[in-house]
Amino acid sequence: MTTPRYQQLADDLSHCIRSGVLKPGDQVPSVRQLCALHDASPATVTHALHILEDRGLIEARPRQGFFVRTQSFAYPSQCALPGRPKAIELEGHRKLVMEFAQTCGNHFLGMSAIDDSLFPTKALKKLLVQQLHRNDNIVNDASYTGDIALREQIARRSLLLDCDFLPDEIVLTHGATEALDLCLRLLTKPGDIVAIAAPGPLRTLEMLEGQGLQALEIPSHPCDGLSVDALEFALRHHKVAALVVNANFPSPTGSLMPDKEKARLAELTGRHGVPVIEIDIFGELTHGPQRPKPVKAFDRHDNVLYCGDYRYVISPGFSVGYIAAGRHRLTLQACRKVHGEPVAALIQQTLASFMASGQYEPHLRRLRSQLASQMAAYRAAVFRYFPKGTRVACASGGMLLWLELPEGTDMTELQRRSHCEGYVFAPGALFSQGESFNNCLRINTGHPMTVELEQGVRVIGELAHAVQAEAAVLA
């Protein structure tokens, strides 16, 4: 599967914007100019421009054409070099995490989640009842490594990822969390150094802490994801036991690694013999027409352990994860028998029959377009209510919106006041051990925009104004 022409063009133009060839406020060349420059059809060029618009990089001005957005992210300077590996045991960080976990429960803007109305409830219910009638022992059946029907469906769909998993190498788990846990157990021992993205998913940081591992934070761009240059530098200077990477729309930024970088990443880690644990739980939630490939698609060395999860794709009631374990399959299957709990066959077989039923693709199309329009609504609200100088990441998939407030914004104070008003967001400091993201925050856009949620964005935005104004007076 090759990258389509419009995608290539969109990637090239993104690169021009991020590298500064096209600056904020600049007019983008016209469709006619681009057609001539790139030897492409008007349809291809228009498609590429819409992708850039979706990514938040450019905006249309009536009768004038496209302009580079002034509020998109610039490549932060601290992205140049990774820090030093650190054992994770920051008391302050832990406190922050616990506070967040205790408060975010019923707050739609806080925890990453997708609204129940976006899941195929009726179809799943019908299939559950069918399964109960069809199979006598299904309520007791449970397996450690996975029902064959489900493993076959996963293998079949892997062709769309440009991978070709075998049913035999799939190991089922309780969600991607357990998948990551097992892979780390397999590849590391306490004290080892594991490379991760910064900012990166909170769960990964927490899991490294739990297993007594050291985190080597590799800078990750809010739009392009993990910096492979920084990773290359890190691998030259440290003995890294494994890399954990989420290439497609990860928490907190929703970034997307370009295919070229994914290929480089696979080649680089293969050459250094550093195994990769790839978590691809949001890849299916692309807002664009094409589901992005995982790093695994570029893996020529059987060096990438690919982990998926149906929780955000099919339903939180079906939090079934899996590992495409390649040459590690026997060890991981045995490992799961010792460390894991069996997964109910009822859940697995219903999932498999949903995937086999022909209802999966239409569901995905609806889910993707709904998430895209929700993200747009929240992004618009942020532009409306947040202070000037707020940068907004350009996620083109998933449901997480990453904001960078002007340097020096007192996030602790903003968080405290927002919470008093009844609104919770995820502060940037959650997603790294360092302090680079203390002026950032993450908003969940998984729920359809309502008057009340818009009010929430407004309140947080206005409080950000207030906090900034007070800081300016003090300075």
Q: Which residues are near a second copy by CB under 8 A?
A: 89, 97-98, 101-102, 104-105, 111, 116, 119, 121, 124-125, 128-129, 132, 136-142, 174-175, 177-178, 185, 189-191, 202-203, 206-207, 210-212, 311, 315-319, 321, 330-331, 333-335, 337-342, 344-347
The beta strand positions in 92-160, using DSSP E, are 142-143
Task: Specify the 3-state DSSP secondary structure of 273.
Answer: coil
4 vs 340 by CB, closer to a second copy: 340
172 vs 381 by CB, closer to a second copy: 172
211 vs 455 by CB, closer to a second copy: 211
Supply the minimum distance, in Å, between the C-beta of residue 144 and a second copy: 8
Q: Tokens for 12?
A: 């090239």
Helical H segments across 273-344, by residue range: 329-339
**DSSP string for residues in 177-203:** HHHHHHHHHHH--TT-EEEEEES--HH
The radius of gyration of the chain's CA atoms, rounded to the nearest angstrom, is 22
Report yes or no: 85 and 321 within 8 Å, Cβ to Cβ.
no
Supply the minimum distance, in Å, between the C-beta of residue 2 and a second copy: 36
Supply the minimum distance, in Å, between the C-beta of residue 182 and a second copy: 10
175 vs 200 by CB, closer to a second copy: 175
293 vs 336 by CB, closer to a second copy: 336
Supply the minimum distance, in Å, between the C-beta of residue 294 and a second copy: 21
Supply the minimum distance, in Å, between the C-beta of residue 168 and a second copy: 14
314 vs 392 by CB, closer to a second copy: 314
Supply the minimum distance, in Å, between the C-beta of residue 56 and a second copy: 29
77 vs 140 by CB, closer to a second copy: 140
Distance CA 205, CA 87 (A): 10
Supply the minimum distance, in Å, between the C-beta of residue 322 and a second copy: 13
- Closest to 312 (Cα-Cα) out of 249, 362, 376, 380: 249
Backbone phi and psi for residue 354, each to the nearest 5 degrees, phi listed first: -65, -45
**DSSP string for residues in 402-417:** EEE--TT--HHHHHHH
Element at 134 (helix H, strand E): helix 121-134
Any long-range contacts for 381-384 (C-beta under 8 Å, 24+ apart)? 381/449, 381/454, 381/457, 381/458, 381/461, 382/443, 382/457, 382/461, 383/71, 384/458, 384/461
Report yes or no: 310 and 318 within 8 Å, Cβ to Cβ.
yes
104 vs 231 by CB, closer to a second copy: 104
User: Whats the size of the chain, residue-wise?
Assistant: 475
Supply the minimum distance, in Å, between the C-beta of residue 426 and a second copy: 12
- Closest to 69 (Cα-Cα) out of 54, 89, 84: 54
Report yes or no: 310 and 286 within 8 Å, Cβ to Cβ.
no
310 vs 378 by CB, closer to a second copy: 310
Supply the minimum distance, in Å, between the C-beta of residue 340 and a second copy: 7
Q: Tokens for 472?
A: 């300016």
Supply the minimum distance, in Å, between the C-beta of residue 68 and a second copy: 38
Report yes or no: 34 and 23 within 8 Å, Cβ to Cβ.
no
78 vs 103 by CB, closer to a second copy: 103
What single-letter amino acid sits at 28? Answer: V
